[in-house]
Amino acid sequence: MTVASTSREVLAINGGSPVRNTLLPYGHHSISEDDIQAVVETLRSDWLTTGPKVAEFEEAVAAWVGTKHAVSFSSGTAALHAAAFAAGLKFGDEAITSPMTFAATANCLLHQGATPVFADVSSDTLNLDPDLASARLTSRTKAILPVDYAGHPADLDSILQLAERHGLIVIEDACHALGAEYRGRRVGSIAHMTVFSFHPVKHLTTGEGGMVTTDNPEFSETLRRFRNHGISSNARQRQMLGQWHYEMVLLGFNYRLTDIACALGLQQLARLEVNLARRRQIAAQYTAAFQKLPGVLRPQVRSDVNPAWHLYPIRLELKKFSAGRSEVFRALRAENIGVNVHYIPVHRHPYYRDRFGYRGGEYPVAEAAYECLVSLPMFHGMSDQDVEDVIAAVKKVCSAYSDDCEVPGD
Alpha carbon 216 to its chain centroid, in Å, reads: 23
Q: Which of 53, 68, 142, 202 is catalytic?
A: 202
CB–CB of 397/133 below 8 Å? Answer: no
Residue 370 neighbours by CB under 8 Å, 6+ apart: 100, 341, 343, 344, 345, 348
In 192-334, the DSSP E strands lie at 193-197, 210-214, 296-297, 305-306, 312-316
Active site (annotated) includes residue 202: yes
Instruction: Give the pairing of strands 210-214 and 296-297.
Output: unpaired
In one letter, which amino acid is 353?
Answer: R
Segments in 44-166 forming alpha helices (H) = 52-65, 76-86, 104-111, 130-135, 156-166
User: How far, in Å, CA of 210 to CA of 213, rounded?
Assistant: 10
- Give CA separation, 123 vs 29, 83, 112, 315, 395, in Å: 30, 28, 30, 11, 25
In one letter, which amino acid is 246?
Answer: Y
Kindly list the catalytic residues.
Answer: 202
